Amino acid sequence: MNNNASMFNRLVAVFLDLIALLGFTVGAGLFIYNMTEINILKELNLDSRNDLIWLLLGFFGLYFILEIFFTKILSSTPGKLCMNCDVDFHAGNTFIHCFIRAFIKVLCVMTVLPGIFSYVRGSGHYENKTYHDSAANTNVTNTTRTPRFIGLLIFFAGLVMLVYFIYKFHSKLNLNFTLWDTPEYKIFDLGS
């Protein structure tokens, strides 16, 4: 019986991880904003290509660190826990295997096209192994040893931070839009 997780579950897990990570990233930004004199939104110029590159590199650097941390501690990421998946290490859950797996995975996700090739290759492989699974000698199974509740809790914590960030800074981020003929409809206009 094939106990490997489907590529659909794995892809959904990656998207859940990225959404939770985005929430934790803006949560860290809010923490810095509230606890120090640093105004990240004022100092960050999103029109500057250099600032955007550094922002994306920081985001994927944090993704890399959290991928190693969760895979080493829980043998799964929060997204995989939500999808009831687990990473099985055939050569042992060592730091070097977690590092190799996380590095190749983040590189594939960051550059998109190799990530697509990796998941397409994995869907045709008899054990559903992507590039990072083959490099670290792992596979992702349909069962997890960690309760799904922990993954859901981590994901929703990140989602709450993301929604709060959008609520707090929607006008500074130009997230105001108009609906048909209604004038200046704001997402979180609670009345003035």
Q: Mean pLDDT per 10-residue run, the chain (192 residues)? A: 83 94 85 70 67 83 93 92 92 91 93 89 88 92 88 93 81 62 56 54
Q: Which domain holds residue 74?
A: 7-169
27-31: which pairs have CB atoms within 8 A and are 24 or more residues apart? 27/158, 27/161, 27/162, 27/164, 27/165, 29/165, 30/161, 30/164, 30/165, 30/168
Residue 105 in any domain: the answer is yes
- pLDDT of 33: 72
- pLDDT of 35: 74
Residue 182 in any domain: the answer is no
pTM reported for the whole predicted model: 0.82
- pLDDT of 42: 64
Q: How far apart are CA 115 and CA 50, in angstroms?
A: 24
Residue 192 in any domain: the answer is no
Q: Are 136 and 101 in contact (CB under 8 A)?
A: yes
- pLDDT of 145: 84
Residue 79 in any domain: the answer is yes
Residue 28 in any domain: the answer is yes
Residue 114 in any domain: the answer is yes
Q: How far apart are CA 35 and CA 11, in angstroms?
A: 36
| Count of domains observed in the chain | 1
Residue 154 in any domain: the answer is yes
Query: How do residues 135-180 score in pLDDT, each as one tens digit?
Result: 999 999 988 888 889 999 999 999 999 888 887 777 666 666 555 5
- pLDDT of 46: 62
Residue 86 in any domain: the answer is yes
- pLDDT of 1: 46
